[in-house]
Structure 1
């Protein structure tokens, strides 16, 4: 019917739905809720039990996994995380993502690139998604500290996981999941060799954390410091989009 709105599966009407809870978080929420119910109804300690029940609800909310509408733009580099753009800087990409990894697989070229850092608070969705579609070329876990993820040096000193994805045309994007002061585990959903679509879920970080995205040379960010991003929906940049130098454009 003309004017009818369809969902991403090609049928029905678009409407709001309760987000699902990722299996990784269900066990924690169920345990917390069970302790709360025992405290309230068996131990008759309501002053303790009700806050515990609210805490269980917070756990379920933290692990929520809403569906997202991914932009169908082949040039789009999509936000891998919900959160706030906390840093935009020109840096050298991590050594783990650059050059030959020893197996003949070539990574990112050396040289300064623009890094966009997205800070996730405990209130944000912590399911991370890939900025582009392609093949997972590298997945490298690095142990480290648990300082505040908002600090610039967290990208080099905190526990982190690097992911490198290569498109079929050879374009590569590297991004890094970084644990924060509270986060204590980075959980991958993919492995090297996996084929993934743009915006597909690739992992999660428990509690406050950060995700860095390294834009290819010649690509300008389309987001600003302090801007909120939505994983799988917000366009961080477009491939090949670079500002012209003043006086060059005709």
Structure 2
């Protein structure tokens, strides 16, 4: 396991603030109250631990297969439905949505190998990630990758009520490899994946996914 580079500034800043707070408490605020000093130290340790675990990147054996769509994120499958995708395809698609809690790994990965045919970033609101309008009104990105067999897969990084910054590492025309990091969302979010109608869905509502490992669907 390693720690993601997107978290270095936050982890260092948080560590320094907590250290300063504990030193202030030890020498000035609670110098005669050992219980208060101990409780503050424990709370600081837990908070710092939560921040560190959020930016963890576990070592995994990634799934690579040209006819499979791999989960772009860790989380829980909350939506599987046929819907109209009106930004790029402007037609019906199969949607699979993954909710990422603050306790999940928040690295986002390319679901297929291919060429990035479309990319767009939208600033927006910060509705809770499971809100029906979060996919159209929240801060988000839309990425379309055309796979080797010609099928196009669209996926969106969507910020949630806690997440306030979406990071991406791709651009239009760029070749990408399945399972490679394509971005990061900080502190709770959602990823929507839009698939061809004839794709065979391999997950169900409530399933837990692992980014780069879980097979979401089979492309025809």
Q: Give the alignment's TM-score, normalised by structure 1.
A: 0.79
Match of 2:4 among 22, 35, 59: 22
User: 1:211 is matched with which residue?
Assistant: 191
Residues 1:72 and 2:54 are matched in the alignment: no
User: 1:132 is matched with which residue?
Assistant: 112
Report which stretch shifted further, 82-91 or 48-57: 48-57
Shift of 1:71: 2.0
User: 2:45 is matched with which residue?
Assistant: 53
Shift of 1:67: 2.9
Where 2:191 maps in the other structure, the secondary structure is strand
Distance of 2:174 and 2:145 partners within structure 1: 10
Q: Tell me if the contact between 1:140 and 1:162 (Cα under 8 Å) persists in the aligned partners.
A: yes
Q: Give the alignment's TM-score, normalised by structure 2.
A: 0.90
* Bigger helix fraction: 2
Q: Which runs of 5+ in 1 are unaligned?
A: 1-18, 99-109, 241-250
What do residues 33-75 of structure 1 show as CA deviations (whole Å, max 9, x unaligned)? Answer: 1222223245415233431232122111101112332223221
Distance of 1:23 and 1:111 partners within structure 2: 38
Match of 1:162 among 134, 142, 155: 142
Distance of 1:221 and 1:118 partners within structure 2: 14
Q: Which runs of 5+ in 2 are unaligned?
A: 31-36
Q: Tell me if the contact between 2:66 and 2:113 (Cα under 8 Å) persists in the aligned partners.
A: no
Report which stretch shifted further, 194-203 or 30-39: 30-39
RMSD: 1.5
Report which stretch shifted further, 77-86 or 213-222: 213-222
| Equivalent residues, number | 210
What do residues 149-171 of structure 1 show as CA deviations (whole Å, max 9, x unaligned)? Answer: 11222111111100111123322
User: 1:86 is matched with which residue?
Assistant: 78
Residues 1:238 and 2:218 are matched in the alignment: yes
Q: What are the equivalent positions in structure 2 for 1:166-185 lying under 5 Å apart?
A: 166-185=146-165
User: 2:33 is matched with which residue?
Assistant: none
User: 1:63 is matched with which residue?
Assistant: 55
